[in-house]
Amino acid sequence: MSFWSRIKAALARFMQGRHGPDNLSMFTLITGLVISLVARFTGLPILIYVGFGLYVWTLFRMLSCNNEKRLAENRKYLALTSNVKTKSRQFVKRMQNRKDYKYFRCPNCKVLLRMKKGTGDKEITCVRCNHQFHQKA
Protein backbone atom coordinates (compact mmCIF):
# COMPACT_ATOMS: atom_id res chain seq x y z
CA MET A 1 0.00 0.00 0.00
CA SER A 2 1.47 3.35 -1.03
CA PHE A 3 1.83 6.36 1.21
CA TRP A 4 -1.02 8.29 -0.45
CA SER A 5 -3.35 5.30 -0.29
CA ARG A 6 -2.74 5.05 3.46
CA ILE A 7 -3.39 8.78 3.89
CA LYS A 8 -6.61 8.48 1.87
CA ALA A 9 -7.78 5.48 3.92
CA ALA A 10 -6.95 7.26 7.21
CA LEU A 11 -8.88 10.35 6.12
CA ALA A 12 -11.88 8.20 5.10
CA ARG A 13 -11.82 6.50 8.53
CA PHE A 14 -11.61 9.89 10.26
CA MET A 15 -14.56 11.33 8.31
CA GLN A 16 -16.76 8.28 8.84
CA GLY A 17 -19.87 9.31 10.79
CA ARG A 18 -19.13 13.02 10.44
CA HIS A 19 -21.42 15.50 8.72
CA GLY A 20 -19.18 16.73 5.89
CA PRO A 21 -19.89 19.63 3.52
CA ASP A 22 -23.40 20.84 2.68
CA ASN A 23 -24.98 23.99 1.23
CA LEU A 24 -24.74 26.02 4.45
CA SER A 25 -21.09 25.04 4.94
CA MET A 26 -20.22 26.11 1.42
CA PHE A 27 -22.06 29.42 1.89
CA THR A 28 -20.20 30.18 5.15
CA LEU A 29 -16.88 29.18 3.57
CA ILE A 30 -17.36 31.47 0.57
CA THR A 31 -18.70 34.28 2.77
CA GLY A 32 -15.66 33.95 5.04
CA LEU A 33 -13.38 34.15 2.00
CA VAL A 34 -15.11 37.28 0.68
CA ILE A 35 -15.01 38.95 4.10
CA SER A 36 -11.32 38.07 4.48
CA LEU A 37 -10.55 39.60 1.09
CA VAL A 38 -12.47 42.75 1.97
CA ALA A 39 -10.63 42.90 5.30
CA ARG A 40 -7.29 42.57 3.49
CA PHE A 41 -8.07 45.52 1.21
CA THR A 42 -9.73 47.76 3.79
CA GLY A 43 -7.45 46.95 6.71
CA LEU A 44 -10.33 46.60 9.19
CA PRO A 45 -9.24 44.12 11.88
CA ILE A 46 -12.80 43.26 12.92
CA LEU A 47 -13.48 41.80 9.47
CA ILE A 48 -10.42 39.55 9.80
CA TYR A 49 -11.91 38.08 12.97
CA VAL A 50 -15.35 37.70 11.41
CA GLY A 51 -13.86 35.85 8.42
CA PHE A 52 -11.80 33.62 10.70
CA GLY A 53 -14.89 32.92 12.83
CA LEU A 54 -16.79 31.81 9.73
CA TYR A 55 -13.92 29.46 8.80
CA VAL A 56 -13.96 27.94 12.29
CA TRP A 57 -17.75 27.53 12.23
CA THR A 58 -17.54 25.85 8.79
CA LEU A 59 -14.94 23.39 10.02
CA PHE A 60 -16.98 22.71 13.15
CA ARG A 61 -20.07 21.94 11.06
CA MET A 62 -18.16 19.72 8.62
CA LEU A 63 -16.42 17.71 11.36
CA SER A 64 -19.45 17.46 13.63
CA CYS A 65 -20.85 14.01 14.47
CA ASN A 66 -24.29 15.43 15.38
CA ASN A 67 -25.83 14.89 11.95
CA GLU A 68 -29.43 15.55 13.02
CA LYS A 69 -28.65 19.05 14.25
CA ARG A 70 -26.51 19.89 11.21
CA LEU A 71 -29.25 18.63 8.87
CA ALA A 72 -31.83 20.80 10.67
CA GLU A 73 -29.55 23.85 10.28
CA ASN A 74 -29.09 23.12 6.58
CA ARG A 75 -32.85 22.66 6.11
CA LYS A 76 -33.49 26.08 7.67
CA TYR A 77 -30.86 27.65 5.38
CA LEU A 78 -32.38 26.01 2.29
CA ALA A 79 -35.88 27.15 3.31
CA LEU A 80 -34.65 30.74 3.66
CA THR A 81 -32.75 30.80 0.38
CA SER A 82 -35.18 28.85 -1.81
CA ASN A 83 -37.61 31.79 -1.92
CA VAL A 84 -34.84 34.16 -3.01
CA LYS A 85 -33.66 31.75 -5.71
CA THR A 86 -37.19 31.24 -7.00
CA LYS A 87 -37.90 34.97 -7.12
CA SER A 88 -34.64 35.69 -8.95
CA ARG A 89 -35.28 32.93 -11.52
CA GLN A 90 -38.80 34.26 -12.11
CA PHE A 91 -37.46 37.80 -12.52
CA VAL A 92 -34.92 36.66 -15.11
CA LYS A 93 -37.65 34.76 -16.97
CA ARG A 94 -39.92 37.84 -16.94
CA MET A 95 -37.08 39.98 -18.32
CA GLN A 96 -36.47 37.47 -21.12
CA ASN A 97 -40.17 37.41 -22.05
CA ARG A 98 -40.93 41.13 -21.57
CA LYS A 99 -41.29 41.73 -25.33
CA ASP A 100 -43.90 38.98 -25.74
CA TYR A 101 -45.91 39.17 -22.49
CA LYS A 102 -47.32 41.78 -20.13
CA TYR A 103 -47.10 40.84 -16.46
CA PHE A 104 -49.60 42.11 -13.89
CA ARG A 105 -51.05 41.18 -10.51
CA CYS A 106 -54.55 40.10 -9.63
CA PRO A 107 -56.18 42.93 -7.64
CA ASN A 108 -57.80 40.41 -5.30
CA CYS A 109 -55.11 37.84 -4.36
CA LYS A 110 -51.98 39.58 -5.77
CA VAL A 111 -50.82 36.52 -7.76
CA LEU A 112 -48.60 37.35 -10.74
CA LEU A 113 -50.31 36.74 -14.09
CA ARG A 114 -49.24 37.27 -17.69
CA MET A 115 -51.00 38.10 -20.92
CA LYS A 116 -49.73 38.02 -24.50
CA LYS A 117 -48.95 41.53 -25.74
CA GLY A 118 -51.15 42.91 -28.47
CA THR A 119 -54.33 41.08 -27.44
CA GLY A 120 -56.09 44.31 -26.42
CA ASP A 121 -58.50 44.89 -23.54
CA LYS A 122 -59.69 41.56 -22.10
CA GLU A 123 -61.72 40.15 -19.26
CA ILE A 124 -59.23 38.13 -17.18
CA THR A 125 -60.12 35.40 -14.69
CA CYS A 126 -57.50 34.81 -12.01
CA VAL A 127 -56.30 31.20 -11.91
CA ARG A 128 -56.03 31.20 -8.12
CA CYS A 129 -59.10 33.05 -6.81
CA ASN A 130 -61.34 33.13 -9.95
CA HIS A 131 -61.70 36.92 -9.61
CA GLN A 132 -62.66 38.55 -12.92
CA PHE A 133 -61.26 41.94 -13.96
CA HIS A 134 -60.38 43.94 -17.08
CA GLN A 135 -56.77 44.22 -18.20
CA LYS A 136 -55.25 45.86 -21.27
CA ALA A 137 -52.22 44.22 -22.90
Q: Let me know if 54 is exposed, middle or buried by CB neighbors in 10 A (0-12, 13-18, 19+).
A: buried
pTM of the predicted protein model: 0.64
Asked whether 37 and 50 are in contact (CB, 8 A), the reply is: no
pLDDT of residue 19: 87
pLDDT of residue 48: 92
Q: How many CB atoms lie within 10 A of CB 53?
A: 13
What does the alpha-carbon distance between residue 31 and residue 47 come to, in Å, rounded to a whole number? 11
Per DSSP bridges, beta strands 101-105 and 112-116 are: antiparallel
Closest CA to 97 of 109, 89, 86, 107: 89
What does the alpha-carbon distance between residue 30 and residue 125 come to, in Å, rounded to a whole number? 46
pLDDT of residue 24: 96
Q: How large is the angle between the packed helices 23-42 and 67-96, nearest 10 degrees?
A: 70
What does the alpha-carbon distance between residue 29 and residue 59 come to, in Å, rounded to a whole number? 9
pLDDT in tens, the chain (137 residues): 799 999 999 988 988 888 889 999 999 999 999 999 999 999 899 999 999 999 999 999 999 999 999 999 999 999 989 888 888 999 999 999 989 999 988 988 989 898 988 888 888 888 899 888 888 87
What does the alpha-carbon distance between residue 137 and residue 135 come to, in Å, rounded to a whole number? 7
